Structure 1
Amino acid sequence: MTTPHTVIVTGGSAGIGADLCKHYLALGYTVISMARKAPDWSHERLVSVQVDLLDSQATQQAIEQITAQYEVSHFIHNAGVIWPNLLENVSLEELQGLTQIHLGSAIQIMQAILPSMRAKRFGRVVLMSSRGALGLQTRTAYAATKAGMMGMARTWALEFADQGITVNVVAPGPIQTPMFYDVVPSGSEREQNIAASIPVKRLGRVDDITRAVQFFSDPENSFVTGQTLYVCGGASIGTLTI
C-alpha cells in the first residue's frame, strides 16, 4: 500500500526517529530521514539524507535538494542533543548550537516545505520538545530551546490554522534511547532511581512516543493544533530528578 504522503523525520537514524520512520513506512508513506548518520537498515521508500542539522548552511542545502524532488506533507522534528551543564559551565556556543538544531533547523525546513503544504491545503507538523522544558538541573540551554519549540509551534499553529496545516508538540519524559543512555549509564542505580521517581514507575519506550506523534500527524486529526502533549509517565505533574 502506498499513500500520497511524504514525511521528513529529523534524527531518523536511531532511537525514536528510527521507530517513527518504520511506523510511517508501514503506513505506506515515503519517508525522508535527515540525520548525521544513515539508518543501519533500508527500505524501498526510505530516503536517507545525511546532514548535520547543527550546520545551518548544510541544512539549507539538504532541504533545498529534498524539496526539489519531493512534496512533503508531514514534518516530524525529532533531532536533538542535550549537552548538560550547570549554569556556571554553560557556554554561548552550546546555547547557539542547541538553538540551531532545535529551532533554527526547524525554521529552515518548515520555510522550504510550507509552499507545497499551502498549495495542497494540508500539512502535519510535530515538534519534539521535552519534559525538561519545564526545568531540570543541568539543562539551561536544553530547557530554553525545548521550551522555545512550544512557543514556536503555537505561533505556527495560529499562522497556518486556516490553511489545513496543524502544528503540535510532543514532550517526552525519560525514554530508553541512545541519547538518554549517553547521560545516564544503562543498568545503573541512577537509571533505577529515575524510573522509581516517575509516577508510573517505569521509563518510557520509543513506541510510547511514536503513538503520540501518530495521533497529531494523522490526516484525519484536523481539529487539534497548537497543543503540547507530555508523554512522561506523569513526570510533568510530579517531580523528577535526573
Structure 2
Amino acid sequence: MGKMDGRVVIVTGAARGQGEQEARLFAAEGADVVLTDVLDARGEDLAGELGARYRRLDVRREDDWRRVVEETARDHGRVDGLVNNAGVLRFGRLVDTSAAEFAEVMEVNQVGCFLGIRTVAPVLADGGTIVNTASCTALTGMAAVGAYTASKHAVLGLTRVAALELAPRGIRVNAVCPGAVDTPMVDPGGAPSAERDAHYRRLVPLGRMGRAEEVARLALFLSCEDSSYITGQPFVIDGGWLAGVRTG
C-alpha cells in the first residue's frame, strides 16, 4: 500500500529538479501523477518512464490551467492534489533589477501559484491537498534575489489565505520552504563548481546543499494522511540556514 494510492495529483514544473523528484516519489507511492511543464521533451520522456500523463502548462496562462484541470478531471474522474512547484530564480541587486524582470518573476512564481489554486480548488475533491513551493526567503530577506524573495513572501500569504478559505471542505494547503537545493535552477549556467560547494559548506549548518528528493519527501508528507491535521503552515527545509547566527 502506497501513501498516495488512488489519488490524482497535478505537479507543475515536473520535467526536472524538485518537480521531477516529486513526480517520481508520488508515482512510487501509488498516485496517478499528471506532470506539467513547458519543457515538453523532458516532460514527455519522464511521463513515459513513470507510466503517467504529461500536459503542457505555462503557469502564467489561465487558458492552460483550465485545459489541464479539465483534461485531468475528464481522464481520471477526479483531482485530489496539486503541487505548485514551477518557479524561476533571477540573481541581481534589487536596484539593478528591471521592471520587466521583476514582473517576469512575479508572474511565474506568484501569479502562477494563484492561478493554480484558483483553478484547481473548485474541482478538488473534499479532503484534497495543495502544496505550494515557497522558499526560506519567504520568511526572511536575502540580498541579490529581491524579486524572488518578494514572490515567495506572496506565495506564503496565498497559502495561508487558501488554507482558511478551503478548510471547510477539508482541503489542506501548506508551503514547503527550501533553502539552497541542488537543482538546475540554482546553476543555470552549467555544472556545479567546487567553489559553489565550498560556499555552501561554510554557509549551511549541515554543511551542504539540499537534494531535490529531500524536498519531495516533505511534499509527500504534506500530501498524504501523515499530515492530516496540518494546514496553512510553512515548512522550512534548509539544513539549518535560518536557525540563527553562528559565531564560528
Q: TM-score, normalised by structure 1?
A: 0.89
Q: Distance in 2 between matches of 1:104 and 1:199?
A: 33
Q: Does 1:11 align with 2:13?
A: yes
Distance 1:55 1:75 in 2: 17
Is contact 1:199-1:238 (8 Å) kept? no
Q: CA deviation at 1:135?
A: 1.4
Q: Are 2:21 and 2:212, in contact at CA under 8 Å, matched by a contact in 1? A: yes
Q: Check whether the contact 2:197–2:208 (CA below 8 A) recurs between aligned residues.
A: no
> Which amino acid in the other structure matches residue 197 of structure 1?
L
Equivalent in the alignment of 1:229: 235
Moved more, 104-113 or 146-155: 104-113
Q: How many residues align?
A: 238
Aligned counterpart, 1:20: 22
Q: Which range is displaced more, 231-240 or 139-148?
A: 231-240
Matched, 1:126 2:128: no
CA apart distance, 1:4: 2.5
1:201-216 equivalences under 5 Å are 201-216=207-222
Question: Unaligned stretches of 5+ in structure 2?
Answer: none
Instruction: Provide, for residues 67-92 of structure 1, a one-character-per-residue CA deviation record: whole Å limited to 9, x for no partner.
Output: 44442111111111101121122122
* TM-score normalised according to structure 2 size: 0.87
Unaligned runs of 5+ in 1: none
Residue type at the aligned position of 2:220: Q
Distance in structure 2 (CA, Å) of the matches to 1:17 and 1:36: 12
SS in 2 for 1:25: helix
Alignment of 1:72-83 (within 5 A): 72-83=79-90
Q: Answer with 197-206 or 176-185: which moved more.
A: 176-185
- Which residue is 1:139 aligned to? 145
Aligned position for 1:105? 112
Given that residues 88 and 105 in structure 2 are in contact (C-alpha distance below 8 angstroms), is that contact kept between their aligned partners in structure 1?
Answer: yes
- C-alpha separation between the residues in 2 aligned to 1:188 and 1:44? 33
Is it true that 1:155 corresponds to 2:161 in the alignment?
yes
Partner Cα separation in structure 2 for residue 209 and residue 219 of structure 1: 18
Aligned to 1:168: 174
Distance 2:96 2:205 in 1: 31
Deviation by residue 1:215-237 (Cα, 9 ceiling, x = unmatched): 11113422100111110001012
- Between the aligned residues of both structures, percent identity stands at 27
Q: CA 1:131–1:44 in 2, change beyond 3 Å: closer, same or farther?
A: closer
* Separation (CA, whole Å) in 1 of partners of 2:69 and 2:98: 29
* Shift of residue 115, structure 1, vs aligned partner: 2.2
CA distance in 1, matches of 2:173, 2:119: 16
Alignment-mate amino acid for residue 83 of structure 1: R
Q: CA shift at 1:58, angstroms?
A: 3.8
The aligned counterpart of 1:88 is 95
> Which one is further off, 36-45 or 55-64?
55-64
